[in-house]
Amino acid sequence: MAGAAVTGYRSAGAVNPVTVNSFAGEIGALRPAVRDLVRRRMDVLAPAYRLMYAEPLDVSRAAGAYLFDRDGRRYLDLYNNVPGIGHSHPKVAEAVATALTEANPHTRYLSEAVVDYAERLLETFAVEARPPDRVQFCCTGTEANDLAVRIARAAAGRVGVIVTQHAYHGSGGLAVEASPSVAPGEDWVFAVPAPLDGDPAAFAASVSAAAAELDARGFGCAALLLDSAFTSDGVVTDPIGLLGPAYAAARAAGGLVIADEVQPGFGRLGDGWWGHARHGVVPDLITLGKPMGNGLPIAAVVSRSEIFAAYEPAYFNTFAGTPVTVAAARTVLDVIIADGLIEHARSVGARLLGGLQGLFGPAAVRGAGLYAAVDIHDPAGRPDPAATAGLIAALRRRQILVSATGPGGSTLKIRPPLVVTEADIDHFLEVLDDELPRLVG
Amino acid sequence: MAGAAVTGYRSAGAVNPVTVNSFAGEIGALRPAVRDLVRRRMDVLAPAYRLMYAEPLDVSRAAGAYLFDRDGRRYLDLYNNVPGIGHSHPKVAEAVATALTEANPHTRYLSEAVVDYAERLLETFAVEARPPDRVQFCCTGTEANDLAVRIARAAAGRVGVIVTQHAYHGSGGLAVEASPSVAPGEDWVFAVPAPLDGDPAAFAASVSAAAAELDARGFGCAALLLDSAFTSDGVVTDPIGLLGPAYAAARAAGGLVIADEVQPGFGRLGDGWWGHARHGVVPDLITLGKPMGNGLPIAAVVSRSEIFAAYEPAYFNTFAGTPVTVAAARTVLDVIIADGLIEHARSVGARLLGGLQGLFGPAAVRGAGLYAAVDIHDPAGRPDPAATAGLIAALRRRQILVSATGPGGSTLKIRPPLVVTEADIDHFLEVLDDELPRLVG
C-alpha cells in the first residue's frame, strides 16, 4: 500500500511562505518615515515578525478593496481575504461600537447575540445533506483547527492526521503540528501531495496509503484535515467532486473528515457559502476563521452534537462568542446576503479567471470565484519564483497588491475583498498585460 | 529525590472548575424569557458550553463594576477580571470604533499603532532587573501559553513542563496539556502542589523533585510554568519572595521560567503591573491576556530577543497585533495610568481583604489587591463546597456576583473590575455579614 505516492512529512520539501515576498531588512533603501517606523518596530516586536514587500506598505487608511499609505497613495488590494466585505466596513464599525457600549460578557452569561448568530450561521449549512447542528466559537483559525483535531481524535479513538504537503492550518497547538508549510511535523502527521492534477481517484489512493502508514506507525487515522480549496498548496478548486473519494478513503480507515474553510469559506468561491459543499461532500467537522468577523478575532468549529459530545475536557474560551466579535460576524453574514456578495464573487471572479487565462494560458490558472492562482513559468516551462517575485514587485509599484504561494513560491495568489469591482479587475488585467512582457519570457 | 512531594499529574485529583457554580440544566425552574433563550442556546451551541449560576444571568447592559439583566436589575460584579478598567468603557468603544473606520491591516503591513503599543507595554517592565525587550502578540492567553512553552522548549532543548496541580493555562494547544484543572495531561507534564502553605523552600524542593522525575522520564525540564498568583490553585500571593527559590530550582535543572500573568497582571494585585515583579523575580517568558484589551481578544508573549530567536518556525497570527485590538489595549494602559487604578486596587483591595479577614478569620483569606480568595469550612474545619455554593447563590440573589475556585470548589473567588469602589466593597461586606450566619456554621 505504501507506494510511491507516500512521502514522509519531513521529506515534503515545504517552502516557508513567510520567506516569499518578505521585506529582507534592507533598511537603508527605505524612505525616511518608513525607515524610522521599521527600525522602531524591529526594536520592540519579536524576531518572528515579517513585513511583506521589499518596500513595506505603511497603511494609514483602508476602504472597500483599497489600502492607502501614509502619503495618501491608493493601492488596489487583491490579496487580503480577511476583510471579506471590504476594509473598514462602516456597518461593522457601528455594530461593534454598539456592542462595546452595551455589554460584552463571556459565554457563561446569557446573551441573545451569540445564540442568534449561531442560528444564522447554521442556516448557511442547511442545504447540505447532513447539516451540522452545533457551533463552538474560538478566536482564531488556529484554535478552531486545534480543537477540531482534538474532537476528531476523541471521536475516532485514533491519533494520526492526514494533511497535504504544503498545508497551513494554523500557528499553534495541534494546528501548527499539522501544517507542513511552517512546522517540521510530528510522527502522527502524514502529508500527501495536493491533487494539483485534479485526479480524485489518485488523491483518494494517496489518502488510503497515508492511513495505512499511520496504522503501521501505531497512530491510526483520526482525521483527514483538508483546506477545501487547498489554498496553501497552490489552490485546487476543480473538478467538482474532487474531494468525495478522499473523504470516503479517510472514513474507510476509521477517520473523521475536517473541512478547513478558514480561507475558502464565507462565499469566496462564488458558489454557495462553503468550499466543501461545492464538491457535494459532508465533513464531520468544519472550521471557520479569517473573514468571519471582517478582521475581528472570531472563529468556530461547526459539527454535529454527537461528534462534539465525544470530547470530554471542558472547553471554555474567554473571548470567543462574546457580543463584540459576534456583532462583527453577524454584520458579515448580513452584508454578504444583502449585497449579494456570493453572486458578485462568482461574476467578478469569472472575469478575473477568464482574463488571467487569456494572459497566462488556461493550464497556468486555477481557482474559483475570487480565489485565483497563476503558476509562473520560465520560457522553458519551469516554475519561476524570481519572475513571480518580480511580478509582485512590479504590481506593487503600480499600486496593486498580490502575493505568492505554492511549492517554491512561484504561484501568484489573488484573493481580494469580495467587494472588488469589475473595473478594478479590468484595471489589474490591463496593468498585468503591460508589465508581463518585461518580466516573463 | 522523587519523594513524597512528587505526585503524578493524573493523580492530582483535579476538580474541573466548570462544574463549580454551573447551571445544571433545570430549565423548568427558570423564568419564561430566560428559559426560552437557554433552550435556543442549547439547540445551537456545542455541548461543552456552560452557564454560571443555578439561574443564569441574562446580561443586557454593563457599566463599570455593574451588570444589568434584561429586566434592568443591577448586579455588583465582583467576579469579572477581563473588563479590568470597567465594563463597556467608553474610551475603549471610541478607540476601537475609530480604528475600525480607519484601517485594520495585519502585522505584515506597517502600522504605527502596534509599534507604539509594544513600546508602551515594555515600559511597564522597565523597573525589573533584566527587563524583557520584545513582544509577540497573540489573540488569547491559550495561544500565548502554547507559544511560550514552544519557545521555552526550543531554548532549553528539553520537553518537560512543571505546573501546579490545579493550574489552568488555557483551553487548547500545549496550554491545555499543561492545565491539570481541565485536561488529563501528558507524560511530559508534571504537577506539583501549589505553595498554599507559603513555604518557598518546600515549593522549590518539589520543583527540583519534579525536574528530576522529568529527567528520569527522558523529557528533561524545559519550563516551570507558573501563574504568578496561583489563581486556579486557590490564590497564593504571599509571602513576598515566594517564587524566587522555585525559579532558581527550575533553572538549576536547565529549564526556563514562564510567568503566566493572564490573571494576576495589569495591576490587579495593587503592587506594580505584574505579579512576578512583586516577588522580585525575573522570568524568561511572560504571558499576558484576559484584561489586556478589556474584552477584545488580545494577548502576548513578552521576552528577550535572544530567547525568541531560539524558536525557528515562522510565527504569524492573522488577527494578533492589529490596530483594532491594539486600540483597546492601548486604552487599557492609558486608563490604568491616568485613573491611578493600580493604587486604587491596592487601597480598595486592602479594604476588601481586611473585611474578609474580619468575617472569616485571617487564616481563611488569601490575596492581594483586587484578587481575593476565601476558604469556606464547615464547623469541623473541613472544606465545605456545599456552603460555598450556597453562599454564591445567596449573593446572586442579593445581586452580587462571585464564584468559586480551588481544590474541591470550596474557595470563594473575588476579582472585580479594578474600578470597583469602596462603597461597593462595603456593601458586599455588609451583605456577607447578613447572609453568613444562615449558611456557614
Phi, psi of B404 (to 5 degrees): -120, 160
Q: Which of residues 46-75 of B touch A (CB under 8 A)?
A: 46-52, 56-62, 67-68
At B183 the pLDDT is 84
Q: Which of residues 98-117 of B touch A (CB under 8 A)?
A: 100-112, 114-115
At B185 the pLDDT is 81
At A361 the pLDDT is 96
> How many C-beta atoms lie closer than 10 Å to residue B437's C-beta?
8
For an interface test with B, which of A171, A262, A288, A402 has the most B Cβ atoms less than 10 Å from its Cβ? Answer: A171
Cβ–Cβ gap A311/B48 under 8 Å: yes
Residue range A367-374: average pLDDT? Answer: 98
What would the grid cell of residue B132 be?
Answer: 524583557
The C-alpha cell 452545533 sits at A134
Is the C-alpha dihedral spanning A224, A229, A231, A237 positive or negative?
positive
Residue range A383-390: average pLDDT? Answer: 92
The DSSP letter of residue A311 is -
Residue range A314-327: average pLDDT? Answer: 96
Residue A339, pLDDT above cutoff 60: yes
Cβ–Cβ gap A103/B82 under 8 Å: no
Cβ–Cβ gap A316/B59 under 8 Å: no
Residue range A307-333: average pLDDT? Answer: 96
Of residues B184 and A71, the one with the higher pLDDT is A71
At A104 the pLDDT is 98
Where is average pLDDT lowest: A187-201, A295-309, B3-17, B32-46? B3-17
Ranges of residues in chain B whose predicted pLDDT is under 50: 1-15, 17
Residue A12, pLDDT above cutoff 60: no
Cβ–Cβ gap B104/A62 under 8 Å: yes
Cβ–Cβ gap A139/B297 under 8 Å: yes
Residue range A231-256: average pLDDT? Answer: 97
ipTM: 0.95
Residues of chain A in contact with residue B38, where contact means CB-CB under 8 angstroms, are: 110
Distance from CA of B353 to the nearest CA of A (A): 26
For an interface test with A, which of B59, B111, B153 has the most A Cβ atoms less than 10 Å from its Cβ? Answer: B59
Partners of residue A136 on adjacent β-strands = A301
> How many C-beta atoms lie closer than 10 Å to residue B200's C-beta?
17
For an interface test with A, which of B40, B44, B151, B168 has the most A Cβ atoms less than 10 Å from its Cβ? Answer: B44
pLDDT-derived band at A438, boundaries 50, 70, 90: confident
Residues of chain B in contact with residue A101, where contact means CB-CB under 8 angstroms, are: 88, 90, 93
For an interface test with B, which of A15, A23, A104 has the most B Cβ atoms less than 10 Å from its Cβ? Answer: A104
Residue of B nearest to A34 (CA): B110
Distance from CA of A418 to the nearest CA of B (A): 16
Instruction: Please name the member of A49, A83, A295 whose beta carbon is closest to the beta carbon of B107.
Output: A49
Phi, psi of A202 (to 5 degrees): -65, -40
Cβ–Cβ gap A140/B315 under 8 Å: no
Q: Which of A37, A27, A79 is nearest to A60 (CA)?
A: A37
The C-alpha cell 528530576 sits at B212
Is B197 part of the contact surface with chain A (CB cutoff 8 Å)?
Answer: no
Residue A407, pLDDT above cutoff 70: no
- d(CA A285, CA B48) in angstroms, rounded, equals 15
- d(CA A204, CA A250) in angstroms, rounded, equals 8
Residue of A nearest to B66 (CA): A103
pTM of the model: 0.96
pLDDT-derived band at A101, boundaries 50, 70, 90: very high
At B14 the pLDDT is 42
Distance of CA B73 to the CA centre of its chain: 28
Is A296 part of the contact surface with chain B (CB cutoff 8 Å)?
Answer: yes
- d(CA A307, CA A156) in angstroms, rounded, equals 9
- d(CA A20, CA A405) in angstroms, rounded, equals 8
For an interface test with B, which of A19, A23, A45 has the most B Cβ atoms less than 10 Å from its Cβ? Answer: A45
**CA distance to B273, B284, B285, per residue, from B129 (Å):** 14, 12, 14
At A4 the pLDDT is 28
Cβ–Cβ gap B315/A133 under 8 Å: no
Q: Which of residues 12-31 of A touch B (CB under 8 A)?
A: 16-18
DSSP letter string over B174-240? HHHHT-TTTS---TTEEEE---TT--HHHHHHHHHHHHHHHHHTT--EEEEEEETT-GGGT----ST
Domains of chain A as residue ranges with CATH:
17-78+341-438 (3.90.1150.10), 90-338 (3.40.640.10)
- d(CA B105, CA A23) in angstroms, rounded, equals 16
Query: Mean of the per-residue pLDDT values for chain A?
Result: 93
Is the C-alpha dihedral spanning B85, B88, B94, B96 positive or negative?
positive
At A114 the pLDDT is 98
Is A142 part of the contact surface with chain B (CB cutoff 8 Å)?
Answer: yes
Cβ–Cβ gap B135/A45 under 8 Å: yes
Phi, psi of A407 (to 5 degrees): -55, 125
CB-defined contacts A:B, below 8 A: 307
Instruction: Please name the member of A57, A110, A147 whose beta carbon is closest to the beta carbon of B51.
Output: A110
User: Strand, helix or coil at A396?
Assistant: helix
Distance from CA of A240 to the nearest CA of B (A): 30
Of residues A4 and A358, the one with the higher pLDDT is A358
Residue A103, pLDDT above cutoff 70: yes
Instruction: Please name the member of A83, A114, A324 whose beta carbon is closest to the beta carbon of B296.
Output: A324
Cβ–Cβ gap A176/B313 under 8 Å: yes
Is B143 part of the contact surface with chain A (CB cutoff 8 Å)?
Answer: yes
At A5 the pLDDT is 31
Cβ–Cβ gap B108/A45 under 8 Å: no
- d(CA A212, CA A223) in angstroms, rounded, equals 13
Distance from CA of A173 to the nearest CA of B (A): 3
